[in-house]
Amino acid sequence: TGATSGIGLATAKMAAEAGARVVLAARNRGALDDAVRGIAGGGGEALGVAADVARREVEVPAPGGRLQVRGRRLPFSQVGAG
């Protein structure tokens, strides 16, 4: 799944509850916005990126890589698309 349901959303929520800033990626913008609002409503910090990782032109950071987000570093990534 993407970050809007199932394991992807559960992982993002757990990470945010532990104090991580999370970046969520999914195809459905409405569901993505709902997920980001849900995390923010629980006191977490989340950024939603509408993307289809099955498309070649979408760049996804490699596991263990670093992504610059709003001038901050993201030291961990989890990709779970099925």
- The reply to whether the predicted model has a pTM over 0.75 is no
Give the three-state DSSP class for 24: strand
Among candidate residues 18, 81, 10, the one with its CA nearest the CA of residue 45: 18
The stretch 48-70 carries a mean pLDDT of 58
The pLDDT, as a whole number, for residue 38 is 96
Q: 21-57: per-residue pLDDT in tens?
A: 888 888 888 999 999 999 999 999 888 887 776 665 5
